[in-house]
Amino acid sequence: MRCEIVRPMLHDLLDKTLSPEEAREVGDHLAACESCRSEFQELKRVDDLLREAVCEMINAIEVPPDLGGRIEKILAERKNKTLVGWLAAFLKPPAVAALLLTVVAAAGIFSFHNYFRPAANQSKVVLEDPQTSSKQLQNENAPGGLSLLTLDGELHDELSAPAEPEQLEQSGERDEVRAVQDRVSAGGGSGAAADLKERQASSVKLQVPPAAPQPTQEKSFPAPAAGGFFAAAAPSLKKGTIEEAAGEVGFVPARPAYLPRGAELQEVTWLSGTICQSYRAGQFSFTISQSRRDVAVPFYDEAARQGTPVQINGLRAILQETRPETVGGTPRVFTTVRWQRGEWIFSVCGDLPGEEIIKIASSL
């Protein structure tokens, strides 16, 4: 074997990827050829140095001693939780979840495409007070009308009507719908936090839109309605001006110093300890939510596990994106950034590009 052939094989020799015969031939050559031998020895030295350095780097990494135990715990909890409870753990802040219940219940009953209109109309539909908007919705939506925007008996009635087969792709969803209706009728119309939690827990099950593929990963989560995240459903949700919100909830929400071009505040709504500001910028829309930590904590901590860590002004935040959903004919991706600053939990959510969402978030 000639040196030119052996030289490239020296790496293979180190990697142990030579066949026994090749290894023997190379070995024979090395025994006879001093220059190749010293080349190999140099390579081996380098290989050993690399191994040593990599191992030192790896061993220097401190593993949190309780990590394995924590993971075990989570798995054990996961095993015990029902599907509903598990989904509840990944829920968004209360205002969003309450809205999603209505939005998705609607989506479950009517075809997805009917409900999600182009953004311009959509925000109007979503944001208005249930009492005044039900008629409007009836006009705007598919035959049958949509009168489910309160959680009282109306929702119950809508859900108990047999849903059209094509709108509930899986029988599992139908069962989920029944589960919600049971919970709702049990919970009544009160806006108590406990009830809201119940509804939120059950609402997540409905969040699989019939026309969209079933999310298979824990990471994916339901597409929120474009145009705003205001629960027109929960009886205790209110809307008005920032001053009114501040007066009722007890704090003045942060305003963004940066707004995308053409962005305008559309509406302010609030619910228990959360204030939401809804903006529209051209064809895009986004919502800024702010709540006190104690209000949001059960949902925030778990939800925080599902997403990408980002930094908002040096604070650790979580960014989540939905898969592209076709809304009003165009695919939209909804991005949410959620973080904590002191006693406050903030979130910015919208169908703007992620960078814009982060800019807005950073400017609060």
Partner 1 sequence: MQGELDLSEDNLVQMALTGDHDAFAQLVQKYTPDVFRTASMVLRDRDEVEDVVQEAFLICYRKLKSFRMESSFKTWLYRIVVNLCYDRLRKLRRESAAFTKLSLNFNVGNGDMSEIDNRIDLKEIISSLSPEHRLVLTLYYGMDFGVKKVAQTLGIPVGTVKSRLSAARSLLKERLERGQEYAL
Applying CB under 8 A, the span of 25-33, 50-58, 224-232, 277-285 interacting with partner 1 comes to 50-58
Q: Residue 166 is encoded by which pair of tokens?
A: 């094509």
- CB closer to partner 1 out of 51 and 178: 51
| Other CB atoms within 10 Å distance of the CB of residue 264 | 10
Applying CB under 8 A, the span of 59-67, 169-177, 201-209, 281-289 interacting with partner 1 comes to 59-67
Does position 35 interact with partner 1 (CB under 8 A)? The reply is: no
Q: Which of 19, 57, 162, 314 binds partner 1 (CB under 8 A)?
A: 57
Applying CB under 8 A, the span of 58-66, 147-155, 171-179, 235-243 interacting with partner 1 comes to 58-66
Does position 324 interact with partner 1 (CB under 8 A)? The reply is: no
CA-to-CA distance for 248 and 254, rounded, in angstroms?
Answer: 16
| Other CB atoms within 10 Å distance of the CB of residue 354 | 16
Q: How far is the CB of 308 from partner 1 (least distance, A)?
A: 4
Does position 214 interact with partner 1 (CB under 8 A)? The reply is: no
Applying CB under 8 A, the span of 12-20, 22-30, 108-116, 289-297 interacting with partner 1 comes to 12-20
Provide the pairing of β-strand 274-281 with 315-321: unpaired
- CB closer to partner 1 out of 21 and 56: 56
- CB closer to partner 1 out of 12 and 164: 12
- CB closer to partner 1 out of 152 and 302: 302
Region class of 16: left (phi > 0), else alpha (psi between -120 and 50), else beta: left
Region class of 188: left (phi > 0), else alpha (psi between -120 and 50), else beta: left
CA-to-CA distance for 90 and 218, rounded, in angstroms?
Answer: 9
| Count of residues that interact with partner 1, criterion CB under 8 A | 46
Q: Could you tell me if 29 and 39 are in contact, meaning their C-beta atoms sit under 8 angstroms apart? A: no
Q: Edge-to-edge strands of the sheet including 335-341?
A: 238-240, 263-271, 274-281, 284-292, 344-350, 335-341, 315-321, 308-312
- CB closer to partner 1 out of 43 and 242: 43
Does position 4 interact with partner 1 (CB under 8 A)? The reply is: no
How large is the angle between the packed helices 3-15 and 34-59, nearest 10 degrees? 30
Does position 22 interact with partner 1 (CB under 8 A)? The reply is: no
* Site track 215-254 with partner 1 (rule: CB under 8 A), x = hit: --xxx-----------------------------------
- CB closer to partner 1 out of 137 and 337: 337
DSSP string, 238-268: EEE-HHHHHHHHSSPPP--S---TTEEEEEE
Strands (E) across 52-199 are located at none
Q: Which of 3, 32, 46, 192 binds partner 1 (CB under 8 A)?
A: 46
Q: How far is the CB of 70 from partner 1 (least distance, A)?
A: 7
284 three-class SS: strand
Does position 61 interact with partner 1 (CB under 8 A)? The reply is: yes
Q: How far is the CB of 212 from partner 1 (least distance, A)?
A: 20
Q: Residue type at 290?
A: Q
Q: Which of 36, 177, 206, 310 binds partner 1 (CB under 8 A)?
A: 310
Distant-in-sequence, close-in-space partners of 250: CB < 8 Å, separation ≥ 6: 273
Q: Which of 47, 77, 264, 343 binds partner 1 (CB under 8 A)?
A: 47
Q: Which of 247, 309, 313, 331 binds partner 1 (CB under 8 A)?
A: 309
* Site track 63-92 with partner 1 (rule: CB under 8 A), x = hit: xx--xxxxxx-xxx-xx-------------
Q: CA torsion sign, 320 to 324 to 329 to 330?
A: positive
In DSSP terms, which residues pair with 266 in a beta bridge?
none
CA-to-CA distance for 192 and 47, rounded, in angstroms?
Answer: 66
- Interface contacts to partner 1, rule CB under 8 A: 11-12, 14-17, 42-43, 46-47, 49-51, 53-59, 61, 63-64, 67-72, 74-76, 78-79, 217-219, 305, 308-310, 316, 319, 354-355, 358
